[in-house]
Amino acid sequence: MTNAQTEDVVEDLTSDSLIVSWAAPGVAQLTINRPERRNALNIEVKELVARAVEELGANASVRVIVITGASGAFVAGTDVAEMEHLTPVEHTLRVTDRMFSTLRACPKPLIAAVEGFALGGGCELALCCDIIIASERARFGQPEILLGVIPGAGGTQRLLRAVGRYQAMRLLLTGKHVFAEEAHAMGLVSEVAPEGKALEQAAEMASLIATMPALAVSAIKEVVRAGADVPLDTALLLERKAFQILFDSQDQKEGMRAFLEKRPPEYHGR
């Protein structure tokens, strides 16, 4: 795909509610743009994000995807006004969890840049990402219990796997929020950034990852994702096979040769 074609893809994916741009070479940025609702997720936005992640994930020019929200908020939750009257059948027919399943299946590294609220569906969106960079005043929580329901897009299961049973149950059963520093101590956040700097710090990390050998990046994501919920012996076998396969790549030969020759490597994703 040429640069012009890639720019056309980015432009085609952009709308009033979702801005798609380049944060850096190889780094695509999705900005959820509903500031009047603190970027709450309605069905339209979820469909836009799902479509963008599918297309960018399949685009060889895209190495990393950063997801953030406009106007000082990440995502304050799912749009309750829209959700209130949905029936179980409508949830099924409208595939209201498609965005989350698409994010979880994305082959490219996903980085959430969180300012302000990441609550309910916003917290679940962040939990779908591989790395979470949060500003000091960012707030995380799963307050669904306060609305008479429970998280429905991975909140109970992914939060459990991220922070453990006792911290997950504390948040799930009370609906309480935690600020970034506490979330970081719990293992929910990768790094804490100064207020207003989460996107900048996320873009820097994304740019660094974009310089890494693409086949190794892909293998790491695949093995970590597949190995998380299988017995350790099976996960170690998956890791070993992926490790061995990479020895058939040009990037492996270039990386080791560059190390021995004490020069920067030049990776080409082959």
Residues 201, 113: one domain? yes
pLDDT of residue 94: 72
Where is 185: in which H helix or E strand? Answer: helix 180-186
Element (H, E) at 159: helix 155-163
Q: What's the pTM?
A: 0.94
The pLDDT, as a whole number, for residue 47 is: 96
Same domain, 141 and 219: no
Assign 8 a pLDDT band (cuts: 50, 70, 90). Answer: low
Beta bridge partners, 112, equal: 67, 132
Q: What is the pLDDT confidence band of residue 10, given thresholds at 50, 70 and 90?
A: confident
In a domain, 77, yes or no: yes
> Is the distance from CB of 70 to CB of 108 less than 8 angstroms?
no
Annotated catalytic, 254? no
Q: Any catalytic annotation for residue 124?
A: yes
Same domain, 112 and 20: yes
Q: Are residues 122 and 202 in the same domain?
A: yes
Domain boundary among the residues 210, 230, 252 is at: 210
Residue type, 222: E
Q: Which is catalytic among the residues 36, 55, 124, 191?
A: 124
Output the CA–CA distances (angstroms, integers) from residue 120 to 125, 228, 245, in the order listed.
9, 23, 39
CATH number at residue 250: 1.10.12.10
Nearest CA among 261, 112, 100, 127 for reference residue 186: 127
Nearest-10 Cα torsion for 221, 223, 226, 232: -140
Residues 187, 244 within the same domain: no
> Residue 181 has what DSSP assignment?
H
> What is the tens place of the pLDDT at every residue in 136-195?
999 999 999 999 999 999 999 999 999 999 999 999 999 999 999 999 999 999 999 999
The reported pLDDT for the residue numbered 3 is: 57
Q: Centre a 10 Å sphere on the Cβ of residue 123 and count the other Cβ atoms it contains.
A: 32
Q: Which of 144, 195, 239, 261 is catalytic?
A: 144
- Shared domain for 120 and 251, answered yes or no, is no
pLDDT > 70? residue 1: no
Q: Mapping DSSP to helix (H, G, I), strand (E, B) and coil, where does residue 75 land?
A: strand
CA distance 237 to 34: 45
Distance CA 220, CA 172 (A): 30
Does 266 map to a domain?
no
pLDDT (tens digit per residue) in 206-216: 999 999 999 99
Residue 179 and residue 229 in one domain? no
Using the 8-state DSSP alphabet, how is residue 149 labeled?
Answer: S
Structure tokens, 11? 């432009």
pLDDT of residue 93: 67
Give the tens place of pLDDT for each residue, 106-127.
Answer: 999 999 999 999 999 999 999 9
- Per the structure, how many domains does the chain have? 2
The domain that holds 21 is classified in CATH as 3.90.226.10
Sign of CA dihedral 159, 165, 169, 170: negative
Range of the domain at 21: 3-210
- Is residue 126 within 8 A of residue 163, CB to CB? The reply is no
Strand partners, 141: 119, 177
Sort strands 110-114 and 64-69 into parallel, antiparallel or unpaired.
parallel
